[in-house]
Structure 1
Amino acid sequence: MVEGFAKVIKYALFLANVIILVGGVSVFAVGVWTLADRSFMERLLGNDLYVTSAAILIATGVVVTVISFLGCFGAIKEVKCMLLTFFIILFMMFIVVLIGGILGYVFRSEVEKQMHQEMLMSVPLYKNDTTVTDAWDALQPYFKCCGIAVNYDQSQEVWKRNSNFQSSDKRVPESCCRRRDQASVRQCQGDPGNYAYDKDCYMEMKDFVKNHALILGGIGIGIACLLIVGMMLSCALFLMIN
């Protein structure tokens, strides 16, 4: 059994692993929430870095959670081979989770370059492409928005680019309407200016994705820092065990 300062390192490593365990569960939960609850946005983003970074963090969260048990057991039992294995796996997870965090941060700065064009190009495909239709129908009620502003026009006007909304009785999709009963939808589609959402979907989605990507990136980098602490303590305890 180790004594003195080595004993402090031992219990510090145990505590660090408990924190890493909590962090791993948190990363997994945030990643699952991102993919499950916001997957409808992927088709309109024009970039898969958002989903990729979340997927990386989910996988890493699972591995880190499992490995933290190995670190706790190795610290308490003072098993050198387990501590060495723990250090190697933590180092690999550090690289992966850091990449996931950086991808989330990079995506935050890249999102504006492609998203507006991708959303604009998808407007004529509405009702002709099931994935695009489902994406818009989920997006507009969620953000309480309608279309995209182009050349200083109201955002609702962009739906004139779709052949399904060029008549006087249907000028916007049903998902633009504030109220969803049949009479209200009919009135809304004929006179969207007063009865449809008036927010710009691009602006709403851009702000959401950039803020959420910052959270993903921050969590990834935060967990990476925790892994560094775990690696340092496991290495120190490994060297102190006779």
Structure 2
Amino acid sequence: MSRKHHHLKESEVSCCVKYFLFGFNILFWLLGAAFLGIGLWAWAEKGVLSNLSTITDLGGLDPVWLFVVVGGVMFILGFAGCIGALRENTSLLKFFSVFLGLIFFLELTAGILAFVFKDWLKDQLNLFINNNVKAYRDDIDLQNLIDFAQEYWSCCGAHGPDDWNMNIYFNCTDLNPSRERCGVPFSCCVKDPAEDVINTQCGYDVRLQWTMYIMVWI
């Protein structure tokens, strides 16, 4: 009798663990599906899915890639963990565990390499930012990402406002017909708390005015 009772107690604990893992992984799975769906929907809106060659046309980063890659990995992991826990499939659970371990190992390796090769990484990061500055107007998602980053970190370009000379719309060359010539994006401006509406033209001519001020002062 006591042996039977002990067996039932072990079975109950095992069942709780199983459904806890199932519930956690199904949320992970659905979240991954949502990320993947948002990414594919964004690509469909931009016409990428109808012409896959345009994926590589953008000079900078397409933020949709983050949704697609992260969503795809979460979807696969969530599916393996969910079905593996529900069906007690050891193969899927092993795949789930190995994949998580691989991700952790890659993150650890990336952190070590970033510390060892920090100067090289800094140069690559500057190059990456500059390429995205050049492609600022080429993609609305990239534009929104750069504006968010500049507002969040209160910065303007990688080193300063003059980085925007690399963009054809903002550079200060005399032949540039753009109204944004010698300006910066509105996300570079210091926001006035009293303003309810964002002034998207606050960056117009700001670097031109600064250049003229220096010339006069000299």
TM-score in terms of structure 2 length: 0.48
Pick the structure with more helix per residue: 1
Flag the structure with more relative contact order, 1 or 2, with Cα contacts below 8 A and sequence separation at least 6: 1
Q: TM-score, length-normalised on structure 1?
A: 0.44
